[in-house]
């Protein structure tokens, strides 16, 4: 892991999980249910049973651009409500500060909305440690992880190459998106089940806590 980071200049950091637990106080299942009301009736059984707001967004996109836009805008509003209720993950400020001191740039790369992320970073005085945000700005699920578009956009914004970047995230989508963008990946797995799931994808490194990446550069 240390050797991997020493080869990089830019860290791409997922938001929901590593930086905060977005739906800790406004549960994802409740958000998903509120989004489902916008596209009822006739929801497929698997979508109706899902507690993942992004499953509802993907279904809405399959119904057409207008439905997708309506659901995405409501999701953005609910994400804004959700992040106003929570605090940063323990230790994340110290990690961001140390990365910055070591010369890394940090870009938040997330499927969550740009507005919610920017609001959270400003509220908790984390924005000074973050160079940029590459996150959801459209209702098109093809622009979201596990597709590489957000990582590609971050690379382009920095004027760098994928080999100078590393993606740090706690989901399967993070590892797959990094691979598709030709960016190295460090998987963050805080539970045994997540460790097994992420290890099976063969990330470039696997850690149990974001704090494990301190002093690694």
Q: State pLDDT tens for residues 72-100.
A: 999 999 999 999 999 999 999 999 999 99
- Identify the pLDDT of residue 141: 97
My answer on whether 52 and 140 are in the same domain is: no
pLDDT tens for 19-28 read 999 999 999 9
CB 79 within 8 A of CB 112: yes
pLDDT tens for 17-65 read 999 999 999 999 999 999 999 998 889 999 999 999 999 999 999 999 9
My answer on whether 139 and 71 are in the same domain is: no
**Domain extent for 100:** 1-20+88-213
* The domain boundary residue, chosen from 41, 57, 84: 84
My answer on whether 6 and 41 are in the same domain is: no
My answer on whether 94 and 53 are in the same domain is: no
My answer on whether 138 and 204 are in the same domain is: yes
Mean pLDDT of 9-14: 98
My answer on whether 120 and 205 are in the same domain is: yes
CB 83 within 8 A of CB 22: yes
My answer on whether 96 and 203 are in the same domain is: yes
My answer on whether 56 and 135 are in the same domain is: no
My answer on whether 78 and 159 are in the same domain is: no
This prediction's pTM: 0.96
pLDDT tens for 142-188 read 999 999 999 999 999 999 999 999 999 999 999 999 999 999 999 99
My answer on whether 39 and 71 are in the same domain is: yes
Q: What CATH number does residue 141 fall under?
A: 3.40.50.1000
My answer on whether 152 and 198 are in the same domain is: yes
The domain total for the chain is 2
CB 170 within 8 A of CB 145: no
């Amino acid at each position: 892991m240390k050797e991997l980071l020493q080869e990089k200049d830019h860290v791409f950091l997922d938001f929901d999980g590593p930086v905060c637990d977005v739906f800790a106080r406004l549960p994802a299942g409740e958000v998903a249910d509120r989004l489902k009301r916008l596209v009822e009736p006739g929801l497929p059984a698997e979508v109706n049973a899902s507690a993942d707001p992004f499953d509802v967004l993907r279904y809405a996109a399959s119904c057409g651009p207008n439905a997708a836009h309506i659901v995405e805008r409501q999701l953005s509003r609910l994400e804004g409500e959700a992040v106003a209720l929570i605090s940063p993950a323990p230790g994340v400020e110290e990690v961001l500060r140390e990365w910055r001191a070591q010369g890394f740039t940090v870009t938040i790369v997330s499927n969550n909305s740009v507005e919610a992320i920017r609001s959270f970073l400003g509220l908790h005085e984390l924005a000074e440690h973050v160079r940029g945000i590459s996150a959801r700005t459209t209702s098109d699920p093809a622009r979201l992880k596990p597709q590489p578009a957000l990582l590609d956009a971050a690379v382009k914004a920095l004027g760098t190459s994928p080999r100078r970047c590393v993606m740090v995230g706690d989901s399967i989508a993070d590892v797959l998106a990094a691979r598709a963008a030709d960016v190295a990946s460090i998987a963050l797995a805080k539970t045994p089940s997540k460790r097994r799931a992420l290890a099976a994808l063969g990330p470039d490194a696997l850690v149990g806590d974001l704090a494990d990446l301190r002093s690694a550069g």
